[in-house]
Every structure is written in C-alpha cells, then in structure tokens.
Structure 1
C-alpha cells in the first residue's frame, strides 16, 4: 500500500514538471514558441505556392485594419485634445471663481470693519451728546456719517 502511494506521488510529480516549466516562462501568444507548445507550426509558403486572390484579400484586410487603427488613434488623439482643452477651461474658470470669492471675502471684511468703526464712532457721539445734555449745554456736533 505504501509502495503504491509512493509510486502515485512520484507519477504526479513527474507529470507536473512540464506544466511547472511552461508556467515559469509563458511564451507570447502567436509566437513560434507558443505555436510549438500547442503542436502547431507556421511556415510561410514560397511565393510560387501563394494564391494571388488570398494574398490580395489578406493585403486588403490588413489595409482595412490599419485604416481602422489609424482612425481610432486619430479619434483618441482628438478626444484627448478636447479633454485637455476643457480641463484647462475648467481650471481657468475655477481660478477666476476663487479670485472672485477671495475678493468678496475681502469686501465683506472691509464692510464689517467699516460698520464696526461706525458703531464705535456713533456710540462715542451718543455718549458725548448725553454728557452735553446732562451738563445742560446745547451740543451741535454732527452725527458720524453712515458707512
């Protein structure tokens, strides 16, 4: 029983060796090595054995594929250029809006500072008027102008 188990283990190990060897360096699909591993080979027939109709059809198909690939590359380049242009416009618009926001915040801060100053000036004027009235005098100091 042990001998049979050992024999089976050795057989499995030996069967796995080619699989492990193949998986360590996978050939490129379509390459000679790739075809050979699958039992296939590609040998170009000499020109004298080529069918002119098949050669012409293959050349036409290759030209169509090349044209589609060129059109796709051109469309992709156009799409990328359009994206870059719109991205630049978005960045410029964002920068403009940020500048406007910063200006608005500065304007709000200036208005708040002016209002606070007026409130202080007005409070001082009211205190002066009250002191003047309490002293029994006539006060003619004008009220501070509103901001």
Structure 2
C-alpha cells in the first residue's frame, strides 16, 4: 500500500509540475531599461564602438584644416556625381521616350502593312475568282461554236 501511495504522489507531482511552473513569475522579469538614443555614447558602446573625439582645445589645427579640406573635396565630388547622375537620368528619360515613340510608330506601320497585305490577298483572290468566271463564260461560248464576245463582269 505504501508503494501505491508513493507512486500516486510521484505521479501527482509529475502531472502538476508544468501547471505550477506556468503560474510562477520568473525572477528575471524586471522592467527592461529604455534603449539608449541612437548615436549616444551608450548606444555606440553597446555596439562595440570605442571612438572618442578629443576636446576642441586638444585638436591639432593643421589636422582639422586637412580634414575640412578633405571633406570639402568629398562633398564637391558627391555634388558633381549627383549632377552627373541627374543629367544622365534626364538623357535616359529623353531617349526612353524617343524609343517608345519609335516603337509605337513601328507597331503602327506593322499593323498597316499587315492590313495592306490582307487587302492585297483579298483583291488577288477576287481577281482569280473573276478570271475563273470569265474563262468559264468564254469556254461555254466557244462550246456553242459561235463567235462570242464575252466581257468581264
């Protein structure tokens, strides 16, 4: 009997353990601190950045001037590149529009050509039918032995 009670107690613990675990609150559920502002020292530190600029009083004036000159050059190249890109885009847009117009004209010409070919084929078929009818009338007239004047209809 004792074995049965011990077995039942163990089974009860196994069944109840997940329910008890779900009801307890974890100890690490403390409120999360607010994320640091993007670009702040803490934000940079969390990402492994270790750069710290020296105060203005410790800056080398020659290095500051050289850096400013480099930055001006970079800025001028970026501006020139943006202007070149805008001009290239404008040329592309013009050429693209010209191509679309040429394509539309070519499509119109192709459709007209197809219509002309169909009209020519229909005219030739009509001519062949008319010629066959004329030849049949001439043959019928000649079969009578008389001299016939057959006019096309």
CA distance in 2, matches of 1:75, 1:101: 38
Query: Which residue number corresponds to residue 42 of structure 1?
Result: 52
Q: Distance in 2 between matches of 1:88 and 1:107?
A: 28
TM-score scaled by length of structure 2: 0.66
Following TM superposition, by how much is the alpha carbon of 1:50 offset from its aligned partner in structure 2, in angstroms?
A: 3.0
1:59 counterpart residue number: 68
- What secondary structure is seen at the aligned counterpart in 2 of 1:141? coil
1:73–1:39: structure 2 CA closer, same or farther, 3 Å change rule?
closer
Question: Which residue, out of 80, 87, 94, partners 2:103?
Answer: 94
Higher relative contact order by CA 8 Å / sep ≥ 6: 1 or 2?
Answer: 1
Distance in 2 of aligned mates of 1:39 and 1:128: 104
CA RMSD between the two structures: 2.5
Q: TM-score, normalised by structure 1?
A: 0.68
Greater than 4 Å deviation, 4+ residue runs: none
Choose the corresponding residue for 2:138, options 129, 135, 141: 129
* Structure 2 spans left out of the alignment, 5+ residues: 1-34
CA deviation profile, 1:111-146 (whole Å, cap 9, x unmatched)? 1011011011111101111111112222222457xx
Measure the CA separation in 1 of the matches of 2:106 and 2:128: 32
Q: CA deviation at 1:56?
A: 1.2
Structure showing greater Rg: 2
- For these two proteins, the number of residue pairs brought into alignment is 117
Q: C-alpha offsets along residues 88-119 of structure 1, whole Å, 9 cap, x if unaligned?
A: 12111111111111111111111101101101
Residue 118 (structure 2) aligns with: 109
